[in-house]
Amino acid sequence: MDPKVRSKINRIAAEANAIARELEDISNGLSHEFKGIGSVKAASGLRRSAEKYRYVSYKLRRI
């Protein structure tokens, strides 16, 4: 694979990981700072989104 393409893929994968970390941080903040069903559902949705970003990053690194 062309090194420039590999580099771009690696940057995109790293950005996907960074987004996943941010989503996890926000999810944890919601879980700790707010109470109620709404905050639980929101935190859960953010965690699911973070998992999807991690999966995308994983798949990109395996190309």
Residue 43 has pLDDT above 90, yes or no: yes
Name residue 42's amino acid. Answer: A
Q: Which domain holds residue 32?
A: 3-61
With a pLDDT cut of 70, the percent of the chain lying above it is: 100
Q: Report the C-alpha dihedral over residues 22, 23, 28, 32, rounded to 10 degrees.
A: 100
Mean local confidence (pLDDT), 5-28: 98
Residue 1 has pLDDT above 90, yes or no: no
Q: Into how many domains does the chain fold? A: 1
Confidence of residue 52 (pLDDT cuts 50, 70, 90): very high
pLDDT in the model for residue 37: 87
Four-residue CA torsion sign, 25, 28, 33, 37? positive
